[in-house]
Amino acid sequence: MVGYWVAGVRYQVSGAIFELKQVTQQFGRFQALTNVSLRIQAGERVALVGSSGAGKSTLIQLLNGTLLPTQGEVWAFGHNLSQLRTRPLRRVQRQIGTVYQQFHLVDNLPVIHNVNAGHLGRWSFAKALLSLVVPQEVRTAAQALTQVGIPEKLYVRTDRLSGGQQQRVALARVLVQNPLVILADEPIASLDPELSREIMELLCKLCVEGGRTLVVSLHAPEIAKAYCDRIVGLRQGQIVFDLPAAQLSAAAIAALYRLVDPNSTP
């Protein structure tokens, strides 16, 4: 049993930070996930791989509580998210930082305001408004930007940054949030190969140094194998394989992307 103190509340975790129990997610007639069960341990670096529409983004949204399952249960930090009221759910969500492919930044604001958005889960409404006029906790934002390698961009308008720099701002925002877990939904999909490697190296470094768990969705199995210690393959809303990175074979990758028999041995 592992315990976490978060905002004065102790979260008990029996061996797993996240657990999905026979989860199905339906959007109208479309079934994004079907009967998915998955456990993620503290400190793991887990990659979700598969083609577009495989269910990777839906799984990320279930883990951070922005979606609740149509059927089954999603547990985080020892809590069934579907049974939590709004305030306890938000306390759990503060410990889960999410990085998105689209960055989710406000382009016409300076970088510091986008980084400070990581505080919004614990700032009062009045402090958040004040910070738009007179930026608050500037030192914390500057330290986060230093960690991601762009301290000089603190007051630059966000829309003047490159795609790679904007992704670093999104990472700095998560660092300011200071979560126990980082979820990254296709964080390198719009970046060139060199920048993709830089962002993946940075993500792994931030998680290792901060003792954080990482769950990242990726299209490229070779990137997943290089930076993660566990690979979960998804196809058409179902888990095809769940393997240590060292055991991921060419046959398993071929089965995932060529739509051969999913029951064949990886």
Q: What is residue 195's predicted lDDT score, i.e. its pLDDT?
A: 87
Given a cut of 50, is residue 76 above it in pLDDT?
yes
Q: What is residue 118's predicted lDDT score, i.e. its pLDDT?
A: 87
User: Would you place residue 15 in the very low, low, confident or very high pLDDT band (cuts 50, 70, 90)?
Assistant: low
- The verdict on domain 44-61+95-257 having CATH code 3.10.450.50 is no
**For residues 92 and 76, is the Cβ–Cβ distance under 8 A?**
yes
**For residues 164 and 79, is the Cβ–Cβ distance under 8 A?**
no
User: Would you place residue 120 in the very low, low, confident or very high pLDDT band (cuts 50, 70, 90)?
Assistant: confident
Q: What is residue 119's predicted lDDT score, i.e. its pLDDT?
A: 84
Lowest mean pLDDT among 18-32, 76-90, 248-262: 248-262
Q: What is residue 244's predicted lDDT score, i.e. its pLDDT?
A: 96
Give the span between the Cα atoms of 140 and 116, in whole angstroms: 9
pLDDT in tens, 30-58: 999 999 999 999 999 999 999 989 999 99
What average pLDDT does the structure give for the chain?
88
Given a cut of 50, is residue 264 above it in pLDDT?
no
Give the span between the Cα atoms of 38 and 17, in whole angstroms: 11
Q: What is residue 150's predicted lDDT score, i.e. its pLDDT?
A: 93
| Every domain of the chain and the residues it spans | 44-61+95-257
pLDDT in tens, 129-146: 877 888 888 999 999 999
Q: What pTM was estimated for this model as a whole? A: 0.86
Given a cut of 50, is residue 21 above it in pLDDT?
yes
Q: What is residue 43's predicted lDDT score, i.e. its pLDDT?
A: 92
* Tokens, residue 35: 């009967």
pLDDT in tens, 215-260: 999 988 999 999 999 999 999 999 999 999 999 999 989 989 875 4
Provide the 3-class DSSP secondary structure of residue 90.
Answer: helix
Does 71 or 263 have the greater pLDDT score?
A: 71
Stretch 92-97: mean pLDDT: 93
Q: What is residue 103's predicted lDDT score, i.e. its pLDDT?
A: 77
**For residues 255 and 240, is the Cβ–Cβ distance under 8 A?**
yes
Stretch 91-101: mean pLDDT: 90
One-letter amino acid at 57 equals: S
Q: What is residue 259's predicted lDDT score, i.e. its pLDDT?
A: 54
Cross-strand partners of 74: 20
